[in-house]
Amino acid sequence: VPVRVYNFSAGPAQMPLPVLERAASELTDWAGSGMSVMEVSHRGKDFVACAADAEAALRRILAIPEGYRVLFLQGGASAQFAAIPMNLTASGETVAYLNTGQWSAKAIAEARAQEVEVVVAADEADSAYTTTPAPGSYEVPAEARYLHYTPNETIGGVEFPEIPQSHAPLVADFSSSILSRPLDVSRFGLIYAGAQKNMGPSGLAVVIVREDLLGRARPSTPSVLDYARMAKADSMLNTPPTFAVYLLGLITHWIEESGGLEAMGQRNQAKAALLYQAIDGSDFYANPVQERSRSWMNVPFTLADPSLDSEFLAGAQAAGLTNLKGHRSVGGMRASIYNAMPIEGVRALVDYMTEFERTKA
Ligand code: PMP
């Protein structure tokens, strides 16, 4: 029985082993306190320093420019779907969205519930969400307060290879691709992400917002979702998810020690290439996504004969390759290969796929 499996879950996802080991070693006595980090006051100087350190490390690895605030919030990325229009628009104003899959569609539905005029500037539903809109193929209305898009659709495995052009501030749901490669933060008005793929456990959502967008929240905005109020309170208007913030700190340091986002990007590109090559090189496996828009993080694939799906999954599980079942809406398989998945895990998956095909095809 393997002590650690290769976990291909879309999220909560595999975490780096050194991070888990460090957390385990500090679990009952953190920073000489005689307590775990979960048991100390969030307003004590040790935890305040821990949160500041996590933010500083995140700022270093993403090279977040001055003039941006980093917020640690709760409610997942989903709470931000509503918080974004609450913070950035008045009721009745126009906003633009690119619809590339189920997560953009959810963001659109939540925005509509906030009584804004949602213009879907590009809609990839016609391709069954296997594409991203070509640059220049859509227009953002002049009056749009922002353009929202989902750089990586976790379910469809569709990723924008470029940052969209927009005169309106760009707002991006980076839940499943943040920290996977270098990013020019200065191109964005607001970046947000749930932590549970590349940044730690669930329970923490990170918002990176340009300061000039702060301070226009609607009066009805709950204070814990009001970016300006949370920024002013250093994200401690109420009790933050302390353990998740601590783990974000360990993960950002792990990324730094592993060579930063350049190194992550190279590793992730190599991992994805290996898996797509295996899929494309066989008639037994298939991935439906337009080549330029294939995700580096989430790789859905189908078997030519879906009646073999459960046997494929059972064999994978027995080989220590877990959580490969595709999203219920898509079927087939999905391998999520976030930062913490080593290339050895992808090799083990490819070897298993090759062997399964050899015996079944
Ligand atoms: N956006 C994307 C791209 C996601 O993958 C997810 C979760 N899988 C969400 C939003 C929702 O995140 P949460 O569960 O943290 O609300």
Largest Cα span, the chain:
63
- Determine the Cα–Cα distance for residues 101 and 133; give it in Å rounded to an integer: 12
Residue-level pLDDT, tens digit, the chain, 361 residues: 457 999 999 999 999 999 999 999 999 999 999 999 999 999 999 999 999 999 999 999 999 999 999 999 999 999 999 999 999 999 999 999 999 999 999 999 999 999 999 999 999 999 999 999 999 999 999 999 999 999 999 999 999 999 999 999 999 999 999 999 999 999 999 999 999 999 999 999 999 999 999 999 999 999 999 999 999 999 999 999 999 999 999 999 999 999 999 999 999 999 999 999 999 999 999 999 999 999 999 999 999 999 999 999 999 999 999 999 999 888 899 999 999 999 999 999 999 999 999 999 7
Q: What is the pLDDT of residue 330?
A: 86
Q: What is the pLDDT of residue 34?
A: 96
Q: 169, 213 in Cβ contact below 8 A?
A: yes
Kindly state whether residues 33 and 139 are assigned to the same domain: yes
User: 10 lies in a domain?
Assistant: no
User: 14 lies in a domain?
Assistant: no
Q: Which residues line ligand 1 (CB under 6 A)?
A: 11, 76-78, 103, 150, 154, 173, 175-176, 194
- The CATH number covering residue 269 comes to 3.90.1150.10
Q: What is the pLDDT of residue 361?
A: 79
What is the 3 state secondary structure string of 206-235?
EEEEEHHHCCCCCCCCCHHHCHHHHHHCCC
User: 337 lies in a domain?
Assistant: yes
Kindly state whether residues 156 and 114 are assigned to the same domain: yes
Catalytic-labelled residue, pool 103, 226, 254, 271: 103
Tokens 């993080």, residue located: 297
Counting from 1 in the atom list of ligand 1, the atom nearest the Cα of 202 is 15
Beta bridge partners of 149: 172
- Supply the DSSP string of 263-286, one letter for each residue: HHHHHHHHHHHHHHHHHHT-SSEE
296 catalytic, yes or no? no
Q: 63, 187 in Cβ contact below 8 A?
A: no
Domain tally, the chain: 2
Counting from 1 in the atom list of ligand 1, the atom nearest the Cα of 80 is 16
- Give the count of beta carbons closer than 10 Å to the beta carbon of residue 211: 13
- Residue 266 CA, chain-centre distance (Å), reads 18
159 Cα–ligand 1 center, Å? 15
226 catalytic, yes or no? no
User: 198 lies in a domain?
Assistant: yes
Last residue of a domain, one of 257, 281, 308: 257
User: 269 lies in a domain?
Assistant: yes
**Structural domain span for residue 303:** 260-360
173 catalytic, yes or no? yes
Kindly state whether residues 78 and 189 are assigned to the same domain: yes
Last residue of a domain, one of 257, 274, 301: 257
Kindly state whether residues 140 and 200 are assigned to the same domain: yes
Q: What is the pLDDT of residue 2?
A: 52
User: 6 lies in a domain?
Assistant: no
- Nearest CA among 114, 123, 79, 78 for reference residue 93: 114
